[in-house]
Amino acid sequence: MIRTLKGLFLTRALREKLLLLVLLLIGVAYWFSSFLGRSAIFMSEQSHTTKSLADQARWIASRASVQKQAEKAAAGFRSDETLDATRLIAALQNIASASGLNNPNINGLQDLSVEQFAVHPVQFTVTKVSFESLVSFVSAVQLRNPYIGIEQFQVMADKANPSVLNASMKISSVEITKGIP
């Protein structure tokens, strides 16, 4: 078969030979660039996986100290002060009214539960509020730390009246669902 192809190639005119060689070189270059791209992706994924495995090994190696620190931190929690989603919304409404924030919009988000804890996030939005009342609200929420925390905070001037603010926050509470070992 190779002899037949060689004979077929040698019987062609010079320009046909050059054209075939150029097409062959273009094909090889295209295949090689594709191979390099796939190799780069493979090497990147391998590096990422290696780093991830090393990080996991570090966490596993320090499991005892991490567990000891977690138990120490959890011992500081009082389960009667942790809030479920309903109590979080009620607490935020009370803090908002005490801070002078009228008609806040509070929407519950997807809860996250693990073995001993549950995290209850809400989206808290207020419009047309003064800077002072917003600072008062944030300070009152910070007093409830670590049971209530602000994860995300966006504030912007109202377009119609730049002297008042619109704010949106993602606020979460932590609830102890089972006893700490």
Q: How confident is the model at residue 118 (pLDDT cuts 50, 70, 90)?
A: confident
| Exposure string for 62-85, b = 16+ CB within 10 A, e = fewer | eeeeeeeeeeeeeeebeeeebbeb
Tokens standing for residue 81: 């002060």
Q: How confident is the model at residue 179 (pLDDT cuts 50, 70, 90)?
A: low
**174 phi/psi in degrees, rounded to 5:** -110, 135
User: What residue has token string 């606020």?
Assistant: 171
* pTM beyond cutoff 0.75: no
Mean pLDDT computed over every residue of the chain: 89
What torsion, rounded to 10 degrees, do the Cα atoms 51, 52, 57, 60 define?
Answer: 150
Q: Which of 60, 61, 77, 97 is nearest to 144 (CA)?
A: 77
Q: What is the mean pLDDT of residues 117-136?
A: 92
The rounded distance, in Å, linking the Cα atoms of 82 and 109 is 18
